[in-house]
Chain A
Amino acid sequence: MSQDTTAHHDDHHDAHHPTGLARWLFSTNHKEIGTMYLVFSLAMFLVGGAMALIIRAELFAPGLQLVNPEFFNQMTTMHALVMIFGAVMPAFVGLANWMVPLMIGAPDMALPRMNNWSFWILPFAFTLLLATLFMPSGGPSSGWTLYPPLSLQGGNSLAFVILAIHLMGISSIMGAINIIATILNMRAPGMTLLRMPLFVWTWLITAFLLIAVMPVLAGAVTMLLTDRFFGTSFFNAAGGGDPVLYQHIFWFFGHPEVYILILPAFGIVSEIIPTFSRKQLFGYTSMVYATASIAFLSFIVWAHHMFTVGMPLGAMLFFMYATMVIAVPTGVKIFNWVATMWRGSMTFETPMLFALGFVVLFTIGGLSGLMLAIVPANFQYHDTYFVVAHFHYVLVTGAVFAIMAAVYYWLPKWTGHMYNEKLGKIHFWWSTIWVNVLFFPQHYLGLAGMPRRIPDYAVQFAEFNMISTIGGFMYGFGQLLFVYIIWQCVRGGEKATAQVWEGARGLEWTVPSPAPLHTFDTPPLVDDSVAVHKDTLA
């Protein structure tokens, strides 16, 4: 075995580097694969964004104007699937690929060839998924949750959607196994678990969540597949099945999934705020335990997504209280971020702006989540635009803002150039203003009773929908500026130093910018002087 692994390493160190397409197709280098993940994610972000704009354009005014209801439903379903599995998750995996080995002093990921495979599955998966839009029966239109019996009443394209979801799941599981194997086996001497940067910690926990729940989703959609095409009755009441069972299985996956979409964001923000506050992260150990607590709690709250199916009082109380308990570790985190800034020597470069935007706006999303946890209120809010507003605050101003913060933060390390700071700040303020114009009115729409996933609505909702659509288009087109800033930074710009940011600490800032293709071939020695965080409480 040991010879095997040595040969493995030598092989890609000494090998000549193929150029052109082959360089990317056959790459086993964590930095190149990380870049591919990030570019893929950006492309999917734009595709999913275009779908969102179709939805918002139709909702600009009451009545049916642009698209027919069937296509509208395909857009809401596809927008969610593309954004969750195509944009946010690959972006986090890309960041992990690039940064985890650099942050723990490893030469590469533990399984470089599997890494290549994990990435290259994705373009095929999304080709399959998006191709359903051009099939006679159209794409999936039952919402991304694919609840039966509705999801089983569409056309045969469901089989393609399910296969695409299987491929995405396989890709995520392999990526997660690789990340855990890297973190547990490849750390530099002295990089003890409690010296690891928080981004590495949050990804370690996220990867365990992925391995625990992606297979459950695979099982759930396989049951849909056999119910639809092979005559089983898992969810078919006529055959003794139960459609509510699907909701339980789906949300057993679905709730940990939403933390998969946010825990790495917590890690990113925990890296950026100390750097620009020029202080150690406050309460490092409590951050680690808070992350682990959130991950544990995510497994016992799933039924809060389905209070209205009818469940016993005791179950509703349990799921309500368990959900509210999550506010405690999340509150610990927000407290720690604020305490890190307290009396810090703060500056407000673009990554810091996005991180601060994250802290403020994610908290709004967290609070509306608490409102949704209240069972009697949930009966009123269920399947309204209030839910839509809630999860877009945690996913757009939460996960997406954190990803953008991370891109600005590490872009100089990747490209060797500083990005255009002025444009970065414009991008931040433009996004922050318009994203609130886009999503804040949706709270009011939901409280007033506007249901989600409908192409038409009562005229009383007209004004807020119009405002929301204007916000959507301004926010959406503003993201082209983000693409331009990245393109400009890749092409050239002011040379970045190795440390890049004055207050930056950690192993990734000890290698030159741009980071050479191979780093830490000889492991660095890590002690408290170069560790990113010391616990200020210890």
Chain B
Amino acid sequence: MSEMTRKKPWQTVAGLTVMAVAMFGFGYLLVPLYDKFCEITGIGGRTADTAYQVELNDEIDYGRTVRVQFLATVNSALPWRFEPTDRFMDVHPGKLYETTYIAYNRADQPVVAQAVPSVAPGRAALFFNKTECFCFTEQLLGAGESRDMPVRFVVDPNLPDRVDLVTLSYIIYKNDEATAVLAAVN
């Protein structure tokens, strides 16, 4: 009996300390895990941030029509107007389409911005492929400049049958750092 009592606690303490430190690391590990999880499952409406390569042998499914809606939101810190030219398009899966967003810089100096896309519903995000998008790179507009920014996309024919409406939304933010660098150069 006595061997189990009043042991030296140092081994226990060392083990528990390691556990506490490991859990602090685990908190940080949750960040890449979350990103990976969203990327794989499309949860959160994430889409790829690089261009999709069109495969020419993609079947075009003329028997099916999916409505794609376009939204735009401008962060309050960005002095831009930013709107889609089309409110929606009815598209056939597998076919390549193009639409544009119009951006206008209301400020009297050049501003750099970055758009962040999101697709709803989340389960459609993996099947919405952009071959060209202004969201892949930073966008610079001079004072008072306006520009049409194109988006080219293909809806994957494997899009789940239940989905007949897909919403592509952009929130565009000011890139403070790049704007400041630009101002310094000028």
Residue of B nearest to A218 (CB): B24
Residue B56, interface by CB 8 Å: no
B20→A234 contact, CB < 8 A: no
Residue of A nearest to B26 (CB): A216
Task: Tell me the chain A residues, 66-94 only, with Cβ under 8 Å from chain B.
Answer: none
Number of interface residues of B (CB under 8 A): 39
B16→A211 contact, CB < 8 A: yes
Which residue among B16, B19, B41 has the maximum number of chain A CB atoms within 10 Å of its CB?
B16
- CB-based closest 7 A-B pairs: A219-B27, A238-B173, A215-B24, A181-B9, A215-B23, A110-B9, A216-B27
Task: Tell me the chain B residues, 1-36 only, with Cβ under 8 Å from chain A.
Answer: 1-2, 4-10, 12-13, 16-17, 19-28, 30-31, 34
B114→A215 contact, CB < 8 A: no
Residue A493, interface by CB 8 Å: no
A189→B2 contact, CB < 8 A: yes
Residue B174, interface by CB 8 Å: yes
A237 with B12: in contact, given A173-B20, A312-B123 (CB under 8 Å)? no
A2→B8 contact, CB < 8 A: yes
Residues of A participating in the B interface, judged by any CB pair closer than 8 Å: 1-2, 5, 106, 110-111, 173, 176-177, 180-182, 184-191, 211-220, 223, 234, 237-238, 240, 242, 244-245, 248-249, 252-253, 310-312, 315, 523
State A213–B30 Cα separation when bound (angstroms): 13
Q: Which residues of B contact A217 (CB under 8 A)?
A: 27
B20→A1 contact, CB < 8 A: no
B10→A1 contact, CB < 8 A: yes
A211→B12 contact, CB < 8 A: no
- Mask, B62-99, CB within 8 Å of A = 1, is 00000000000001000000000000000000000000
A294 to chain B, nearest CB (A): 19
Select which of B8, B21, B23 is within 8 A of A185 by beta carbon.
Answer: B8
**Interface residues of A: mostly helix, strand, loop or mixed?**
helix
Residue B171, interface by CB 8 Å: yes
Q: Return 28 A-B CB contacts under 8 Å, by A number.
A: A1-B8, A1-B10, A110-B13, A177-B20, A181-B9, A185-B8, A185-B12, A186-B9, A187-B5, A189-B2, A190-B1, A211-B20, A212-B19, A214-B20, A215-B24, A216-B24, A219-B27, A219-B30, A234-B31, A237-B116, A242-B38, A244-B44, A245-B30, A245-B34, A248-B30, A249-B31, A253-B27, A523-B6
State A249–B5 Cα separation when bound (angstroms): 38
Residue of A nearest to B2 (CB): A189
Q: Which residues of B contact A310 (CB under 8 A)?
A: 122
**Interface residues of B: mostly helix, strand, loop or mixed?**
helix
B30→A238 contact, CB < 8 A: no
A214 to chain B, nearest CB (A): 8
State A191–B173 Cα separation when bound (angstroms): 63
Residue B175, interface by CB 8 Å: yes
A238→B175 contact, CB < 8 A: yes
Q: Which residues of A contact B26 (CB under 8 A)?
A: 215-216, 219
A220 with B27: in contact, given A181-B12, A187-B4, A238-B75 (CB under 8 Å)? yes
Q: Which residues of B contact A190 (CB under 8 A)?
A: 1
Residue of B nearest to A221 (CB): B27
B117 to chain A, nearest CB (A): 11
B23→A212 contact, CB < 8 A: yes
A177→B16 contact, CB < 8 A: yes
Residue of A nearest to B176 (CB): A238
A219→B8 contact, CB < 8 A: no
Residue B43, interface by CB 8 Å: yes
Residue of A nearest to B41 (CB): A312
A259 to chain B, nearest CB (A): 16
A180→B12 contact, CB < 8 A: yes
Q: Which residues of B contact A181 (CB under 8 A)?
A: 9, 12-13, 16
Which residue among B5, B13, B30, B44 has the maximum number of chain A CB atoms within 10 Å of its CB?
B5
A312→B27 contact, CB < 8 A: no
A247 to chain B, nearest CB (A): 11
Q: Which residues of A contact B12 (CB under 8 A)?
A: 110, 180-181, 184-185
A177 with B23: in contact, given A184-B12, A244-B44, A312-B123 (CB under 8 Å)? no
A238→B9 contact, CB < 8 A: no
State A311–B43 Cα separation when bound (angstroms): 7
Select which of B17, B27, B114 is within 8 A of A249 by beta carbon.
Answer: B27
A208 to chain B, nearest CB (A): 9
Q: Which residues of B contact A184 (CB under 8 A)?
A: 7, 9, 12
B25 to chain A, nearest CB (A): 8
State A114–B22 Cα separation when bound (angstroms): 21
